[in-house]
Amino acid sequence: MKKNFKKYAFEFLSIFIAVISAFALNNWNDNRRDEQAQKKILDEISNGLEKDIEDVELNVQGHAFGLKSNKFWRKIIMTGEADLDSLNVYYFNFLRDFISIQNTSGYENLKSRGLELIKNDSLRTAIISLYEYDYKTLKTLEEEYFEMQFHENYYKEINDYLAPSFRFDTEGSIVGIELPIVRGDQEKNKILSYLWKIDANRKFALNFYKQIEANIINLKKRIESEKR
């Protein structure tokens, strides 16, 4: 009887160890798969952020040149003087709008797998904040916020003010402008008020882009650190 008890106890212990070992191995495999999946998605997000930085920088350059164009036209309207060598460039970029191109495929894959795949709570929160708040706010600002739609809001009236003074060549291309532009004070002041508003909105956008770019760069650094 005692011999049988030892035999059964040994068999039970062997089965118990085998079950625990199998469970531990399965758990290790699951954790390894999750780590590999996390690394793959973080790689995808990081690559997308690199492209997002490029788009942000292009839009920043565009808005900055829009400010230079604004300054050029304000000087013409107020003083009747300006260096006309870049007239066409300043006219083309004066009221240019921009769209926000965001590479969200990595984040969408993360959401489909479950946000909890990112084990680092702080990193997960930073990722969610960038994609759900920063990017959506930026897209709304550039593409939907009424005051930022410069071409739609201001082109007709500003062009009506400027166009009569343009000089064209035989092919219809702008080659110069007759200065000073002679218009009534009321019309002149209205156009200057538009320029002030455009200037203020571009500066607001640039400040927001500056913060977004800092957030993108910081998140990319944190992702690279997490992957090590």
Please write the tens of the pLDDT for every residue from 191-215.
999 999 999 999 999 999 999 999 9
Residue in the structure block whose two tokens are 């070992």: 21
- What are the residue boundaries of the structural domains of the chain, listed by start? 2-227
Distance separating alpha carbons of residues 153 and 107, to the nearest angstrom: 34
Q: What is the pTM of this model?
A: 0.83
- Say whether pLDDT at 25 is over 50: no
In our burial notation (b when 16+ CB lie closer than 10 A, e otherwise), range 46-82 reads bebbeebeeebeebbeebebbeebbebbbebbeeeeb
Please write the tens of the pLDDT for every residue from 153-184.
999 999 999 999 999 999 999 999 999 998 99
Residue in the structure block whose two tokens are 């191995």: 25
Distance separating alpha carbons of residues 28 and 20, to the nearest angstrom: 12
**Mean of the per-residue pLDDT values of the chain:** 89
